[in-house]
Amino acid sequence: MHKTKVHSITDNRGGLVSLESGINIPFDIKRVYYLYNLNDEARGFHAHLKLRQFLICVSGSCTVKLDDGETSSNFTLNDPTEGIFVERLLWREMHNFSKDCVLLVIADAHYDECDYIRNYEDFLKLVRTDT
């Protein structure tokens, strides 16, 4: 679990970051969504059975907590050239959204509620039996 830098093409007009399957995103991109207009309420509190995602704060900042069932780490996302890959079977929570936070998420699958593990005890059981 670590943050990943993405290349920015920057000139006197500003920056441009391109996210491309097979180039800097190691999966086929099936879905893009973003969280915005966020308040004090933390989000997430679930893991995914299969879904792989890349999270990048394209504006503002937030904290992403990732837990693999043994250890948990907090990552501050506050740079549009830095994101974090969130692999399957990681419990995730998003906290501390700044007023201007826009959290962009690139995913390798369409939305599927059946892929969510929303109970932490179920998550721990699954992690411990996953091979």
Burial of 96: CB neighbours in 10 Å, binned 0-12, 13-18, 19+: middle
Does residue 69 belong to the site contacting ligand T46 (CB under 6 A)? no
Among 66, 77, 84, 92, binds ligand T46 (CB under 6 A): 92
115: which DSSP letter? G
Among 3, 8, 43, 60, binds ligand T46 (CB under 6 A): 43
How far is Cα 122 from Cα 104, in angstroms, rounded to an integer?
27
Catalytic site includes residue 46: yes
CB of 53 to ligand T46, least distance (A): 6
How far is Cα 101 from Cα 99, in angstroms, rounded to an integer?
6
Does residue 111 belong to the site contacting ligand T46 (CB under 6 A)? yes
How far is Cα 19 from Cα 3, in angstroms, rounded to an integer?
15
- Active-site hit among 7, 46, 48, 95: 46
Does residue 52 belong to the site contacting ligand T46 (CB under 6 A)? no
**Tokens 């943050």 belong to which residue?**
3
Residues that bind ligand T46 (CB under 6 A): 31, 33, 35, 43-44, 53, 55, 92, 105, 111
